[in-house]
Structure 1
Amino acid sequence: MKNAEQVTFGGSGLDRAGELRGNPQGLSEAMADPTARTIVFWRGKPLMSTERPAGLIRLAMDHAILRDAVEPPILLGREEGGPVFAVDLSAWTPAGFDEAGASGFLDQSEQRHPALPDWMVFAELRRVMTWLTPRDAELAASGKAIFAWHEIHQFCAKCGVATELSNGGWQRVCPSCNASHFPRTDPVVIMLITHGNSVLMGRSPGWPQGMYSLLAGFVEPGETLEAAVRREVFEESGVRVGEVGYLASQPWPFPASLMFGCWGHAISTDITVDPVEIEDARWITREDMMTISQGHHPEIMPARKGAIAHFLIENWLSDTLD
């Protein structure tokens, strides 16, 4: 697919400076570099500017706000030769923070740190991802995903002892059994399944009213992408799929997936929904999808901008999948 890397979170060409990760002296020098900057996160939310054009905030490494960090900075890479890090401030609790207000399908709440101006806020990445440049999006996705991994891998899976951050934040080491643990990404297939002039769409329980998307599911051990597409579509909808191909991928840090966008040709059309997997599935014609994408359909909302489902559907409608 010629425009595959135009999907959100993909294709910025970030220099990840992998050669520095295992070099303690090089990391120390990078953090002391006067051009070094850090992206700041709170509970997975990046620090953003609310002024237009909105974007990620980059702070100097000696900024006072970083005193609230518990763990060392994580090296994300280089921008224009300058080192870029990520710092997690999740140990800080905003004054008057309402846990209930920061829950739900899409967190609309914003948090402000007293050491920062009011126009700098921590905002949910899914809500602001379409505001970001490709570089900001890649940095935000990388930082969010790596912090999510650290949060749930603080103990050795082999012996249970607390592990220690290493390798610039891209490894955890067990001081007891010397086991090394590295970040993991879960492969997920998301499929544009077509039959003639129609595409297969579904919705999960708990989604907002009117929200539909392409079917998707995790790839199992020992399974090809093609086999995963056929299995997931049949399990969720009862539709059989024949030929399958790959289109594009998208890092999806919610919390740590890599979405493999695929196409597939259905060889059956009867739908039998598995209620454990999805709530509803239906075939939607190209004409109806045009109405949906323009926001004029009476029952179905457009796919969420920034997600690969929206990207694939828009390319299908415009005949630019090849």
Structure 2
Amino acid sequence: MKAHTASAMVNLQMFTHSSHFSIHHRFFSTTTTPNPQLSLTTSYSTKSIRVPFPVLSCCLNSTTEASTISSSQDESPPLHNLPPPVKKKRKAYRRLRPGEAQGISEEMRFVAMKLREKKLKLKTDKSDESDRDSDGSTEDDGDNDNDNDSDNDDDQSWEPEIDGFLRYLVDSKLVFSTIERMVDESQDVSFAYFRNTGLERTESFEKDIEWLGQQNVTIPEPLFTSKKYVKYLEELAAQSPPLFFCHLYNIYFSHIAGGQVIARKVSEKLLEGKELEICKWPGDPEELLKGMRDKLNALGQHWSRDEKNKCLKETSKCFMYMGTIIRLIIMR
């Protein structure tokens, strides 16, 4: 066997204690760990040494970056097999209703304003139609005289009468006595917020009706529409207090903003300017109404959006009934 000489140059800094290399021999193979204390340069003479020299065939370092990166790249799945990225659904925020930030009373005020604008628009449209009809008419003077007479009759039909005013007092007294009785008798804790507010009108209507009865005027019975409205209020007080409270507030609001104003004008025309009891208050009516409004808004913070939407619908219904009662003053 011929002797072979080999030399190995090894850099110690490239090996760690975890580094391994394999030595292959024609007679046997083994795996060993290099000893840093061993001399790095070894030479053998072919004449003095006749033993086979092992050959370094493989070097593996578990911390080598190249092997780690190559293995991770081989094991990574192809990009086209990756699932699509999950898109986060955008949260949708509900748009606030007009006046919602201020409270339920402000929302109802916007509904009342919209009803008023709608009423004024209808009135304007009717007046425009009548103007176009009058411009395009070809009737003679005699016909025009008859038309003027009918217009005068229409104007006179809107004049207040004592009987109509008394009917207004009777039906209003029925409504106010009902809502105030429901507030006093209810066992619901929330009804206590609206007791002794200074807005109570039952006794005031009773005094004015009694005074008119002494003027040889027959006191009528409440109309069917008012009785129907009162029954509806009783059902709301038992089944849905939030809806009842909205009617309660709107009834007082309509009386302060419109009812007592019309009553003063009727008194100037028919009662020689007598100061009616329904127009007397223990304080500033606007401040008293504000106190009720604040309590209503405080309770409204605990209502659901569905309950508030129903209250807005009830606002239109309340003004419809109260408008019917006020129109009793001018009806013949």
More strand by share: 1
Larger radius of gyration: 2
TM-score (structure 1 length as normaliser): 0.21
Larger RCO, structures 1/2 (Cα 8 Å, 6+ apart): 2
TM-score (structure 2 length as normaliser): 0.21
